[in-house]
Amino acid sequence: MIDNADIRIWVAASVECRSVRISDREEIDPQTAVELTIEREDCEAGRYHKYYNIDINDLSPYDLVINSEVWGGVDEIGAIVDAAIAGLKE
């Protein structure tokens, strides 16, 4: 987390959604994808807390939280981020 960032953005998706994406991309079975996703999330949560004292489940530091399950395409998410950044410049 950068203290002096002009905007802080978090792109969110549920474990289930991320697992499906990983399963499709990595060509692994869905249950393994769920297990790996949970394991990675737990590891990241521990690392963020240890090194940065950040609770990754606390979204209050973010100016914009985008649910990629609703706005799933890269182009759609990019357009939202572009609009948010453009709004800062005004």
SS3 at position 31: helix
Taking a C-beta distance cutoff of 8 angstroms, is the pair 55, 1 a contact? no
**What are the backbone dihedrals phi and psi of residue 66, each rounded to the nearest 5 degrees, phi first?**
-110, 125
Give the confidence band of 4 by pLDDT, cuts at 50, 70, 90: confident
Q: Which two tokens stand for residue 38?
A: 């949970």
Q: In Å, how far from its chain's centre is CA 2?
A: 16
Neighbours of 9 (CB within 10 A): 15
> Would you place residue 77 in the very low, low, confident or very high pLDDT band (cuts 50, 70, 90)?
very high
What whole-number distance in Å separates Cα of residue 79 and Cα of residue 76?
A: 5
